[in-house]
């Protein structure tokens, strides 16, 4: 793998307590791996911002100067809390970012706030380069419902903020001909149930279910019972597990994306506790690039001789777009390896196995503008591991994001980085982060 020297961005002390900065590699991995469901976990409010705190801090930043524009672009379905969009910079390279589309995956929020503060308050050549060359459009919390989900986990009469993958939204027949497979009918903390928003996108941006679909586009099982799986046809390809765009979040994100007309699209997630197959340790970050049929042979979960192309690679992404996305993902993984700091666990970057997901942000929206895509996957959702290693995950996200902004401001095509496509495919696949044969569609 080609190794580069990365510019060292701001140190860990900015976001990590001094006591944490001295943690050893073994201590760090103990924190990450001690996620046995029998272990006690602090499932209280934790360090992550409430919706109200996030709103207040975004507004304060926007009021400081004219560098940052803040707009409410929608409201969540259940709580009716605002979905905010941040715009910073006026450069030629456009980047669209969504964070916390799953409410139990909060770690990117504080990383983004740290970067916002630096870009609003800072005066340096790096800040000027980013502001002058990039146009950032960021949705820092796409699922306010899931971010604030509470439940009496211990049956002691006390509600705890666990976070929830889904939003809070009932399904009814006005949404779609069938109840989609990604809608949960009821939660312990809310009988309305909700949708997984990262299954709700559609390749047709203005898709309206019950108008644009017909009952025969929905799969049924051998007994004629509905499966909740919608199939879309595009350019001779069948796109299974397409979304119906029933959630306000997906409507707002799609509109934001098309308005931004991005060259790059990034989404920040968490997965289970994936292992680096070379070390057996929990990996701090897995990266995933969507790519087209030219890399079918490298795709981990498809057979070009037997499987339909759209089942495992995106047929609507060309070579140039695929290559930019691959280089971007590898860039961020290498940045963490170079920037190990006090935590050598930062050296355990892995690859998240790509396969198409036709209700997801990346696979449906990237083809609209030829945007190169990137998925960040941090270890552990809050409803299963609490806030373990919270600040380390924040820092891993911040370093990777800021390094990508730095490089894209200087080299929009990422052709001068020294990174080769093979570097990405040589990166080991994370183990234990997804079910065999499905990859990203199960957990991202």
How does pLDDT run across 328-339, given as a tens digit for each residue?
A: 999 999 988 887
Mean pLDDT over each residue of the chain, to the nearest integer: 86
pTM of the model: 0.89
Mean pLDDT of 265-269: 97
- What confidence score (pLDDT) does residue 206 get? 95
Consecutive H or E run containing 440: helix 440-443
Q: Which of 28-42, 57-71, 353-367, 381-395 comes out lowest in average pLDDT?
A: 28-42
Give the Cα separation of 314 and 322 in Å (integer): 9
Structure tokens at 36: 């046995």
Q: Residue 136 and residue 163: Cα distance in Å, rounded?
A: 27
Summarised one tens digit per residue, pLDDT across range 269-316 is 998 888 888 888 888 889 999 999 999 999 999 899 999 999 999 999
Q: What pairing do the DSSP bridges indicate for beta strands 93-99 and 82-88?
A: unpaired
Determine the CATH number of domain 12-151+241-443.
3.40.630.10
Express each pLDDT in 97-149 by its tens digit.
999 999 999 999 999 999 999 999 999 999 999 999 999 999 999 999 999 99
For the chain, helix (H) and strand (E) counts, in that order, are 13, 15
Name which residue leads in pLDDT, 382 or 9: 382
Helix, coil or strand: residue 269 = strand
Decide: residue 251, CB within 10 A, 0-12 exposed, 13-18 middle, 19+ buried.
middle
Instruction: Give the separation between CA 183 and CA 198, rounded to whole angstroms.
Output: 11
DSSP-derived 3-state class of residue 220? strand
3-state secondary structure of 35: coil
Q: What is residue 272's DSSP assignment? A: S
Domain parsing of the chain, residue ranges: 12-151+241-443
Confidence of residue 343 (pLDDT cuts 50, 70, 90): low
58 vs 12, more confident: 58
Distance, CA of 331 to CA of 287 (rounded, Å): 10
* Distance between CA atoms of residues 395 and 101, nearest Å: 19
Task: Please compute the mean of the pLDDT values over residues 339-352 and round it to a whole number.
Answer: 71
């Amino acid at each position: 793998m080609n190794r580069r020297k990365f510019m060292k961005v701001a140190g860990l002390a900015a976001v990590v307590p001094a006591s944490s900065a001295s943690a050893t590699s073994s201590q760090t991995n103990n924190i990450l791996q001690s996620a046995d469901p029998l272990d006690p976990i602090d499932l209280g409010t934790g360090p992550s911002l409430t919706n109200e705190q996030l709103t207040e801090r975004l507004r304060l930043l926007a009021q400081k100067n004219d560098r940052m524009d803040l707009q409410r672009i929608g409201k969540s379905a259940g709580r009716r809390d605002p979905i905010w969009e941040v715009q910073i910079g006026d450069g030629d390279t456009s980047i669209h970012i969504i964070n916390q589309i799953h409410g139990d995956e909060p770690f990117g929020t504080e990383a983004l706030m740290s970067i916002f503060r630096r870009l609003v308050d800072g005066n340096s050549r790096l800040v000027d380069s980013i502001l002058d060359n990039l146009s950032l459009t960021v949705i820092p919390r796409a699922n306010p419902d899931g971010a604030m989900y509470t439940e009496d986990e211990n049956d002691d009469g006390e509600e705890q903020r666990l976070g929830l993958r889904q939003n809070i939204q009932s399904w009814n027949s006005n949404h779609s001909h069938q109840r989609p497979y990604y809608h949960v009918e009821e939660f312990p903390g809310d009988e309305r149930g909700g949708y997984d928003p990262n299954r709700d996108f559609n390749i047709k941006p203005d898709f309206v279910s019950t108008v644009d679909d017909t009952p025969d586009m929905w799969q049924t099982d051998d007994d004629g019972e509905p499966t909740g799986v919608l199939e879309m046809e595009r350019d001779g390809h069948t796109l299974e597990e397409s979304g119906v765009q029933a959630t306000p979040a997906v409507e707002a994100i799609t509109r934001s994306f098309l308005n931004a007309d991005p060259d790059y699209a990034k989404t920040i997630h968490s997965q289970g506790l994936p292992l680096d197959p070379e070390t057996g340790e929990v990996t701090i970050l897995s990266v995933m690039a969507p790519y087209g049929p030219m890399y079918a042979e490298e795709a981990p979960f498809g057979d070009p001789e037997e499987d339909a192309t759209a089942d495992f690679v995106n047929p609507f992404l060309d070579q140039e777009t695929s290559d930019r996305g691959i280089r971007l993902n590898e860039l961020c993984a290498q940045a963490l390896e170079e920037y190990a700091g006090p935590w050598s666990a930062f050296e355990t970057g892995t690859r998240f196995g790509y396969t198409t997901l036709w209700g997801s942000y990346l696979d449906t929206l990237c083809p609209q503008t030829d945007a190169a895509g990137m998925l960040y996957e941090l270890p552990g959702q809050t409803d299963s591991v609490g806030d373990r290693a919270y600040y380390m995950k924040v820092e891993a996200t911040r370093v990777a994001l800021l390094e990508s902004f730095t490089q894209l401001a200087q080299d929009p095509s990422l052709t001068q980085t020294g990174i080769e496509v093979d570097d990405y495919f040589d990166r080991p696949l994370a183990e234990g982060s997804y079910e065999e044969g499905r990859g990203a569609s199960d957990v991202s």
